Structure 1
């Protein structure tokens, strides 16, 4: 689809535009009588013509200046083209066009690379424009011109969607009926029945050895939705008043044994032992993290309370350190595999509030920053480690003792892996951590996980994810199955290449295709992300995020979120009036959820999905957001 190509082509690649220079350009979209989006050196630029826009698509333009943040250009008459400075720059053939696109990004081709490019144009499926868009995407990411890179990017941009490719593979493996049944029945039974904590000795040992954790009111294996299925048992606490005991009671629950019947007795003991050890360590890690962050915030508050200007920079460094610690804990901390959604949201709120304090310090508002730091310190002090039963059971289902055979054939392992990601997060609210874990289970971090496993010498069991299984299928099977697996691997690799982080660029772009199960059909949600580079990370306060889903029932649905200094606007695009009415009823809830994690929602609007120009409009909207987010100077991007 064109939207993905335009979006990927929005990779920031600033180039010199000097007054008086002349370039060949293509008029991509006319915005008014004198404003247009033109393509210059493979990049899209918003310009204003002096006089009317030429009727021809191919024009020669001269840069005359910048006014009101818009580039001013003048069309050069055809009579002057042959003698102008742009003469001979526009390539005659498609291969020459591709070379010019790469050259514009500073990539000079060797003889071998030119041969690779030629073979790609000769053998790759698709139109010439699609092939040029693939080359443009590769150039924007400044990737090496290699056959594997070109094939992977072309597959991701112009091949079948990732969900469609997986569905075709599952169909050839005769997994689709089992997959639908598994998603709708088996996993719901797994998450509904839960774990039977039959190893009483192990459980009691853990309680006795972790009295502090128990007495803090931790609720293990419990969710309000399953209260009617559970029996609650109060753990008596020594030297506590009746009121304190009631407020800090711990609930231990016991489910029926259906799910556990599949396991032999030793496996049940291993499950309970592993869970209790993991929860014990997670509680210790959580407490250690609290102490570390509160100490730094206390020091920051002390420095700010003195009112000295010289202490501002030191306090800012401490605040930044706590933000890094929080963000790392949310995405990498093992305790986040177990804690409840409320705790995760509170940690996100703390991170957002500290980002506000950091900005206030930059502006010299020490008293306001001090107030924000104290608020976060109070919030973090009140956090309690609360394991969520859904997350605990999901942890069990994703590990070897869940009953899966790690030595089973890849096609047998593929079914439970697909079922797990298609219903992720399995009855729980979507959160930052479980979304990250879904991407990991898909295999978007496969190479990184293997690398870390090798460094830590823990390769006894290879990381299990969809990409790992697809690689095995592509190498161990024959015919259609191997071919489908290869297509799926190439699609994923292309997405990874197009989402490559470039520390040298001010703006970052990413592109993902996430499979979902809708009405027994495997569909694909396409995700396009533009964000400012914030010290080697994506700046969540200044970014644009676009979700695109093509459904059989409602047609295309687009959701565009644009954030500027945490002020967020949301645009929902659909042609279905029924869906519009249904979603309007949820806007207040959506607004509350977004504000809970630190955004200031300025508005949620609905618009029609303009199929003819949707792609260009989306790209233009994203581009305008990028220009506002560019900080200083004029950063002209595609």
Structure 2
């Protein structure tokens, strides 16, 4: 959504540029070229074409004033620099205290972007370089990232971006909050117990006279307290049962990893764990459902999916049992489904059925529109001439946009299986190829592709995914009044692996759960539903904002740090309209083998209208793994031909990675890429490793692209 002409003052936007300049305003500019009454200048990092008035040098720095407009192009003339600006610049470079080398470096970067190193910026940078944690190199990386994103060099921007790039990973911040919340819950329980015992003591003392009678009644009261449902887990007998069940779960996990025959593993799990889960009704139901699901996968020949279902269930059980609380069930996947109250299931069934029916109807409408567009494309593609090709291209673009909206925005993708999503993604990429063929004059090739896509859409049968439906039901619960429980629920949902396998929509939903779209969605909700707060999006950022104001100092402080990290990532992912290239950075926590691990994702791509060009881009993933150490995965796409580079410092990494390469090729080709080359190299060279060992930084290091895969400089 783009909103223009909001301000009352007149704004002028020249063709092919997005920077809006104001008539009557003055700007610091770098003149790139000037001739024949026109010039190209750099204002705030953006190239702007202007018509010149008066005498202009061919290049150099100048202060220009916008004096008018001709045919949509701003007219500018050079004006003297204001005296205060001249004084301000002189202060920086002629003061008795010389500028630090890093400040001079920042000044050079700003100058390339058409900006000045002002007194306020110098003051902000001095504070940042003095007080921020990390090395000078890391701080320079942060400043460069802020400048490249065309953000102002303010304390808030620098702190947020620095935390995102070089601070404690978001996953570790969130895990620390979970541990702190557990401590708080234990304190609350102790206070509650003490209050009940105090009440019991005061009541008993008022009713009995002898100490012996008081002690006897107190013991009876204590016994009653220990027999309450929320205290059963602390009884000796219950603890023994939980410890025994946990040992069996750990043994089952080991067998699941080692035993090649899945049928034997299923029998073992059912025999050893089936009795143990009887101590909790939610566990019993979830266990039976997971076992049934795994057997169905196995009967359909999907052994990997069956093993994953079993592993997720056992991992959730082990995590819950390790926490020592039998009444806590992790709110994710099948376990959340088991915890849904029976009295609400009818409502959930009705809700999900209605949503699926509406999504199916919406898809039929989109499908009909796309098919009509493709018929029109075929009609125009049979005609000759530039006008016919232009018409066909416009209808193709509309069809592609509708398919992409189905993938990323339609509720349908919340229910259907991954095969359907891949079909739609492949159809979208094929239509993009048809558009390219039209542009090249290959009408026959374009018509062939369009006919293939038409056949696919005509025969497409929507199949609901049981796993996705269960996951959707889990998210329909009422918002938690208790912030701690709401945070734990969202934490579990956000870090768990993708439901029913990875896909474009699953990734988009994961980013939404973390709150990367929170500000936009909150504003949209406010506009659509009014300022009553109704419909406010529920995500990790929304909950962190509430926890930061909860009054609990340790939790509020950690929530603020996590929010700073999220805000920094949002700033680094801001859309740079009109610059031609786009950079993105995500630092995402992901649960892997019952632990939260961090994955850093770097994207560098050409802009294609309002989105990035997925056919020509670079993606770099930096993962922390227990067995292999840091692992870098670089994907370079050029016209959908993909080069993959795997980076790791282990000598036996090539041997270990070999079995997965063919599988990766197949999955990438399913969504429209062609893998032409796979390389395996070292992540860091020996010199770099020795340099890192000599210094002990206060924050974790993530090197730039030139050394480990990414550079924010575009």
When the two structures are superposed, what TM-score results if normalisation uses the length of structure 2?
0.62
Contact 1:594 1:601 in 2 (8 A): yes
Question: For 1:98-177, what aligned pairs fall within 5 Å after superposition?
Answer: 98-108=106-116, 111-174=119-182
Deviation at 1:617, TM superposition (A): 8.4
Other-structure match for 1:538? 612
Other-structure match for 1:31? none
Other-structure match for 2:389? 312
Other-structure match for 2:77? none
Q: CA separation of 1:519/1:350 partners in 2, compared to 1, >3 Å: closer, same or farther?
A: closer
Pairing 1:597–2:657 present: no
Contact 1:531 1:544 in 2 (8 A): yes
Distance 2:386 2:603 in 1: 38
Pairing 1:411–2:484 present: yes
Where does structure 2 lack aligned partners over 5 or more consecutive residues?
1-29, 34-44, 46-92, 187-245, 254-276, 301-333, 690-701
Contact 1:223 1:389 in 2 (8 A): no
Other-structure match for 1:619? 706
Question: For 1:122-521, what aligned pairs fall within 5 Å after superposition?
Answer: 122-174=130-182, 193=289, 224-225=296-297, 262-400=339-477, 406-426=479-499, 428-457=500-529, 459-521=533-595
Q: CA separation of 1:490/1:324 partners in 2, compared to 1, >3 Å: closer, same or farther?
A: same
Deviation at 1:527, TM superposition (A): 0.4
Question: Secondary structure of 2:577's partner?
Answer: coil
Distance 1:188 1:385 in 2: 32
Other-structure match for 2:20? none
Q: CA separation of 1:521/1:141 partners in 2, compared to 1, >3 Å: closer, same or farther?
A: same
Deviation at 1:106, TM superposition (A): 2.3
> Across the two proteins, how many residue pairs are aligned to each other?
487
Deviation at 1:424, TM superposition (A): 2.9
Other-structure match for 1:558? 632
Deviation at 1:389, TM superposition (A): 0.9
Counting helix residues as a fraction of each chain, which structure ranks higher? 2
Q: CA separation of 1:126/1:582 partners in 2, compared to 1, >3 Å: closer, same or farther?
A: closer
Distance 1:292 1:138 in 2: 43
Per-residue deviation, residues 374-426 of structure 1 (Å, max 9, x unmatched): 111111111122111111111111122xxxx5242222212121112222323
Question: Secondary structure of 1:480's partner?
Answer: helix
Per-residue deviation, residues 230-281 of structure 1 (Å, max 9, x unmatched): xxxxxxxxxxxxxxxxxxxxxxxxxxx9977744554122101101101110
Question: Secondary structure of 1:174's partner?
Answer: helix
Question: Secondary structure of 2:361's partner?
Answer: helix
Distance 1:430 1:623 in 2: 24
With a CA cutoff of 8 Å and minimum separation of 6, indicate the structure with the bigger relative contact order: 1
Q: CA separation of 1:433/1:514 partners in 2, compared to 1, >3 Å: closer, same or farther?
A: same
Distance 2:335 2:603 in 1: 44
Deviation at 1:300, TM superposition (A): 0.3
Distance 2:549 2:664 in 1: 45
Question: Secondary structure of 2:637's partner?
Answer: strand
Contact 1:449 1:463 in 2 (8 A): yes
Per-residue deviation, residues 61-89 of structure 1 (Å, max 9, x unmatched): xxxxxxxxxxxxxxxxxxxxxxxxxxx89
Per-residue deviation, residues 340-389 of structure 1 (Å, max 9, x unmatched): 11110000110111111111111111111111111111111111221111
Over aligned residue pairs, what C-alpha RMSD do you find?
3.6
Distance 1:521 1:141 in 2: 33
Deviation at 1:455, TM superposition (A): 1.9
Question: Secondary structure of 2:436's partner?
Answer: helix
Q: CA separation of 1:622/1:155 partners in 2, compared to 1, >3 Å: closer, same or farther?
A: closer
Q: CA separation of 1:557/1:273 partners in 2, compared to 1, >3 Å: closer, same or farther?
A: same
Where does structure 1 lack aligned partners over 5 or more consecutive residues?
1-14, 19-42, 44-87, 197-220, 229-256, 627-636
Deviation at 1:119, TM superposition (A): 2.7
Deviation at 1:450, TM superposition (A): 0.7
Deviation at 1:480, TM superposition (A): 2.6
**Larger-Rg structure:** 2
Question: Secondary structure of 1:129's partner?
Answer: helix
Q: CA separation of 1:604/1:94 partners in 2, compared to 1, >3 Å: closer, same or farther?
A: closer
Contact 2:598 2:623 in 1 (8 A): yes
Pairing 1:95–2:103 present: yes
Question: Secondary structure of 2:114's partner?
Answer: coil
Contact 1:512 1:527 in 2 (8 A): yes
Contact 1:191 1:393 in 2 (8 A): no
Task: Give the stretch that moved more between structures: 118-127 or 290-299.
Answer: 118-127
Deviation at 1:127, TM superposition (A): 2.7
Contact 2:431 2:449 in 1 (8 A): yes
Q: CA separation of 1:432/1:222 partners in 2, compared to 1, >3 Å: closer, same or farther?
A: farther
Other-structure match for 1:235? none
Q: CA separation of 1:443/1:191 partners in 2, compared to 1, >3 Å: closer, same or farther?
A: farther
Question: Secondary structure of 1:585's partner?
Answer: helix
Contact 2:286 2:335 in 1 (8 A): no
Distance 2:512 2:435 in 1: 31
Question: Secondary structure of 2:627's partner?
Answer: coil
Per-residue deviation, residues 299-357 of structure 1 (Å, max 9, x unmatched): 00011123444311100111111111111211111111111111100001101111111
Pairing 1:585–2:593 present: no
Q: CA separation of 1:112/1:387 partners in 2, compared to 1, >3 Å: closer, same or farther?
A: same
